[in-house]
Every structure is written in C-alpha cells, then in structure tokens.
Amino acid sequence: MSSPQRVFTNSHAWRQVAKAITASHPYCGRCGVTQQLQVHHTVPLAYLLANGEDPYDLDLCEVLCARCHRQAEPAAQQSPNPQLLLQR
C-alpha cells in the first residue's frame, strides 16, 4: 500500500517540479549546504492532498537538505491545526 503522499512524491510531474525548485534555489534554506537537497512542504503534504490544496504551490515549498528535512518533517506532521499555516 502506498500512501497518497508517497504516490505524489514519486510522480514524474512532482519530480520535475522539485528538480526545477532545487535548481533555482541550490542550497538548504536552514543550514545552507548544497548537497542532498529536497523540497519540503511547509504545510504537511498529507493535509494538502486530503483537502484539495495545491501541492505545487511554491509558497508552500522550501528547499532543505536531507538532514534538515528529517528534522522538519515530524514537527510539521504534529502541527495541531495546519489550516493556521495556510492563513498568511
């Protein structure tokens, strides 16, 4: 069984977008390293997909290295009310 998030992140369309994002922002937004860059969703991807929000919205994406991404992910998933994050 694949989660909707995994299906999304493995999709060709998303990989192309992620590649473009990291190409235009080739360093980690937190520690500045330029290796193992990944695109982090500041609003949990599961929430975006479940609520019909646009997972390609660049305002919700942040370039992080693998290490910072691991640290960022659990915090985002534990966010009590992701809706608050969408209100800017």
Measured from the CB atom, the residue of 35 and 78 that comes closer to Zn ion is: 35
Q: Which residues here bind Zn ion, judged by CB under 5 A?
A: 28, 30-31, 65, 68
Measured from the CB atom, the residue of 13 and 31 that comes closer to Zn ion is: 31
Measured from the CB atom, the residue of 43 and 72 that comes closer to Zn ion is: 72
Measured from the CB atom, the residue of 47 and 62 that comes closer to Zn ion is: 62
φ/ψ (deg, to 5) at 50: -70, -25
Q: Say which residue the tokens 């520690």 belong to.
A: 31
Smallest distance from Zn ion to CB 28, Å? 3
40-66 as b/e: b if 16+ CB within 10 A: bbebbbbbbbeeebebeeeebbbbbbe
What gap in Å lies between CA 23 and CA 50, rounded to an integer?
A: 28
Smallest distance from Zn ion to CB 74, Å? 15
